[in-house]
């Protein structure tokens, strides 16, 4: 039972690679298959942490691995979607590059300060994941997204900035910091409250 969270985490890696493989092959009914892969990936992302906390095995190593594979999974789905819908990505390249750069910067700051990747699992990041999921679904089905994509872009940018602020605020590497406010509490040596279901 204790292996379930790690299996769920690594399953996202397999799902991401599968999405790219099927996209390259241009398999029949790719669109509903891609939607299924993306949905399954999101569900594993939700439940791996919940199960790990329920089993009391939510270690620092597990949280770091979870964060890293989350990025790999969504990047893989984005690549697979690009293969199917290159025009959408080309026409929105500036915003996409900006978003990717902001994501990379969060990791650079964390590595520079703590020699570890981020694993804040902030509330904002979780909200953005839902917008990212919805945007990818729309692009997968329509090869286009305007309002939803722009919401995804701005929410993504704001939440990346918050993550940077969290990393800069805390004195020691810490996972599962819900917001910048909580980061400042930690910086001042105070205990913070986390949601037992979603944040440790």
User: Which pLDDT belongs to residue 124?
Assistant: 95
Q: 0.85 exceeded by the pTM?
A: yes
Residue-wise pLDDT for 114-152, tens only, equals: 999 999 999 999 999 999 999 999 999 999 999 999 999
Angle in degrees, CA 21, 139, 5, rounded to 5: 55
- Average of per-residue pLDDT across 156-160: 98
**Would you say 177 and 122 are in contact if contact means Cβ atoms under 8 Å apart?**
yes
Q: Label residue 172 left, alpha or beta by phi (over 0 means left) and psi (-120 to 50 means alpha).
A: beta
CA 8 to chain centre: 15
**Would you say 75 and 16 are in contact if contact means Cβ atoms under 8 Å apart?**
yes
Residue 91: is it exposed, middle or buried by C-beta count within 10 angstroms (0-12/13-18/19+)?
exposed
User: Which pLDDT belongs to residue 10?
Assistant: 95
Report d(CA 173, CA 130) in Å as an integer. 26
Q: Kindly state the DSSP code that residue 59 receives in the 8-state scheme.
A: -
User: Which pLDDT belongs to residue 52?
Assistant: 85
Give the E-state strand segments of 17-175 in sequence order: none
Residue-wise pLDDT for 92-120, tens only, equals: 999 999 999 999 999 999 999 999 999 99
pLDDT at 192 exceeding the cut of 90: no
User: Which pLDDT belongs to residue 173?
Assistant: 94
Higher-pLDDT residue of 90, 192: 90
Which pLDDT band, with edges at 50, 70 and 90, does 191 fall under? confident
Residue-wise pLDDT for 46-89, tens only, equals: 998 888 888 888 788 888 899 999 999 999 999 999 999 999 99
């Amino acid at each position: 039972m204790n292996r379930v969270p790690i299996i769920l985490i690594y399953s996202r890696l397999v799902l991401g690679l599968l999405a790219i493989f099927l996209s390259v092959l241009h398999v029949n009914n790719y669109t509903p298959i891609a939607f299924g892969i993306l949905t399954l990936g999101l569900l594993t992302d939700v439940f791996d942490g919940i199960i790990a906390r329920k089993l009391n095995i939510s270690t620092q190593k597990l949280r770091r691995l979870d964060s890293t594979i989350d990025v790999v999974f969504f990047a893989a789905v984005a690549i697979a979607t690009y293969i199917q819908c290159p025009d959408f990505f080309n026409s929105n390249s500036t915003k996409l590059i900006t978003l990717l750069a902001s994501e990379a910067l969060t990791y650079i700051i964390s590595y520079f300060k703590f020699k570890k990747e981020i694993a804040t699992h902030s509330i904002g990041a979780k909200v953005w994941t839902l917008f990212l999921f919805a945007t990818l679904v729309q692009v997968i089905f329509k090869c286009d997204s305007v309002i939803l994509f722009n919401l995804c872009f701005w929410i993504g940018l704001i939440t990346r900035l918050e993550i940077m602020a969290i990393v800069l605020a805390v004195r020691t590497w810490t996972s599962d910091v819900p917001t910048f406010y909580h980061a400042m509490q930690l910086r001042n040596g105070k205990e913070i409250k986390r949601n037992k279901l979603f944040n440790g």
